[in-house]
Amino acid sequence: MFTGCYTALVTPFTKNVAVDEARLRELVESQIRAGVDGLVPCGTTGESPTLSHEEHNHVIELVVKFAAKRCQIMAGTGSNSTDEAISMTRHAKDAGADASLQVAPYYNKPTQAGLYAHFRKIAEDGGLPIILYNIPGRCGVDVANETTAKLRRDLPKLVVGLKEATGNVDRVSHLRQMVDKDFVILSGDDSLTLPMIAVGAAGVISVASNVMPREVTEMVHAALKGDFERAGRIHAKLFPLFKDLFIETSPGPVKAALAMMGQIEEVYRLPLVPIADNHRAILRKTLAALGLVR
């Protein structure tokens, strides 16, 4: 159900650091024109940690409204509080989202039993199919493949996929052997999308597709059709961008890139700050080589 290229959408801010609704609409339109399969508002790339609960809900409402059912919406509604995650997921359902992306609970570091109970409660009470999000580098806790597989076995209609962002392709092969064929595994790392698809992933939740949505989508679709020669050519072209968008903590570089391209104001909320000048020069050079800036 959830295959292809899903853009982890940035949240544009105005110069006075409010949500820039006009630019958000433009971003959604450009993504849909480029053919992406879906949008993920209010993930880490959308600076969800510094959005108020009201803003978080409003951004999801706006993206659903702007997309107008022309692509799928996978709302980021995770939290390290189970009750809070359920509340936000219910709101996303009422707003019209198609699914919920549920990050592992950060900071409180639950056991695998706690992770299972957390995700199960959200799946049962939130009202949307959920995609688990495993990114231990940010959360401090790893969702074991065994936990994911147990959730899928116990809740096959509610736990429908996983965003895998450990940087370990072997985990995809391992998990693929533990779950049914309809369980969706999505790459959480742009540079690993192609090898992950080769061993059983079904797409990507992408940062780079904020910048080059058509090309990332074409790469993913080619790989899913088995045309790895074409997909490999696109991967090679985009690989410098994949790496430079993580030259500093994301979403700093991707927002800088979009600002260089004239699509948003380069505004962050603390504790995020603009990227360093030397990194900005590297990023600009990569964008210029791709014909995105002068």
**Mean pLDDT throughout 121-131?**
98
CATH number of 4-225: 3.20.20.70
In the predicted structure, residue 294 carries a pLDDT above the cut 90 = no
Query: Which position among 6, 116, 133, 268 bears the catalytic label?
Result: 133
First to last CA, the chain: 39
Q: pLDDT tens across 132-170, in order? A: 999 999 999 999 999 999 999 999 999 999 999 999 999
Query: Which position among 116, 163, 255, 268 bears the catalytic label?
Result: 163
pTM above 0.75, yes or no: yes
**Residue 163 known to be catalytic:** yes
Q: pLDDT tens across 63-101, in order? A: 999 999 999 999 999 999 999 999 999 999 999 999 999
Work out the number of other CB atoms within 10 angstroms of the CB of residue 37: 19
Domains of the chain: which residue ranges? 4-225
**Residue 150 known to be catalytic:** no
